[in-house]
Amino acid sequence: KQEVTQIPAALSVPEGENLVLNCSFTDSAIYNLQWFRQDPGKGLTSLLLIQSSQREQTSGRLNASLDKSSGRSTLYIAASQPGDSATYLCAVNRYGNKLVFGAGTILRVKS
Amino acid sequence: NAGVMQNPRHLVRRRGQEARLRCSPMKGHSHVYWYRQLPEEGLKFMVYLQKENIIDESGMPKERFSAEFPKEGPSILRIQQVVRGDSAAYFCASSSTSGDTGTDTQYFGPGTRLTVL
């Protein structure tokens, strides 16, 4: 059974700091891994998708890496801003398009 | 290009009533997924549908819950005889392909927040 763990559960940083969010999964047989952002009371916004054959993906200030063999992914946020404050979710797609989510990391960027 | 649409955004029901949640996928998407987010818990997969077919319902509670995606119209998640434990946010997602190639992104709607009194 696939299990996804995200560390830390919560993170508070001053504006401008670079930060790393961690995601680990127990079964390395995945098709892809997605990082999402969820704002309070809102839906999920897809940030990055990494295919199983890829090592990393970049979008603006975001960089996601994937080490499938060790069951780990990281989301790197450069020069954090107060607008980055949200819950960040990691989800793996093992097969059958059934996403398995971690519990999320609650990020607060202080101005 | 509208995204995934869900309605209603908020739904209040009394115990024993029925709840109907609707999801219109993104234009061109024929794959729909429902997820549930219980208070203080992560999102959990419920069901995966294509037009007129249920592909995977392994995450659906065995009783009171059903889902459909008809040839015409939105996907419907139906909860009969709701109980307080059904209070949650229900999210719908859609994709353009089955995702087996590893390249497909699931796009999520804003969710329906169900409150059972």
Q: Quote the percentage of chain B above a pLDDT of 90.
A: 74
Q: Measure CB to CB from residue A97 to each of B4, B95, B107 and give the nearest one.
A: B95
Alpha-carbon span B14 to A69, nearest angstrom:
48
Kindly provide the residue ranges of all beta strands, DSSP E only, lying in chain A, ordered along the sequence: 4-7, 10-14, 19-25, 32-38, 44-51, 56-59, 62-67, 72-77, 86-93, 99-101, 105-110
Rounded to an integer, what is the distance from CA A37 to the centroid of its chain?
8
Q: Quote the percentage of chain B above a pLDDT of 70.
A: 94
pLDDT greater than 60 at residue B93: yes
pLDDT greater than 70 at residue A105: yes
pLDDT, residue A42, reads 84
Each residue of B3-33: pLDDT tens digit?
Answer: 999 999 999 999 999 999 999 999 988 899 9
pLDDT, residue B102, reads 52
CB contact under 8 A, B95 and A95: no
Q: Measure CB to CB from residue A51 to each of B56, B59, B102 and give the nearest one.
A: B102
Residues 54-113 of B with CB under 8 A from A: 55-56, 58-59, 91, 93, 95, 98-111, 113
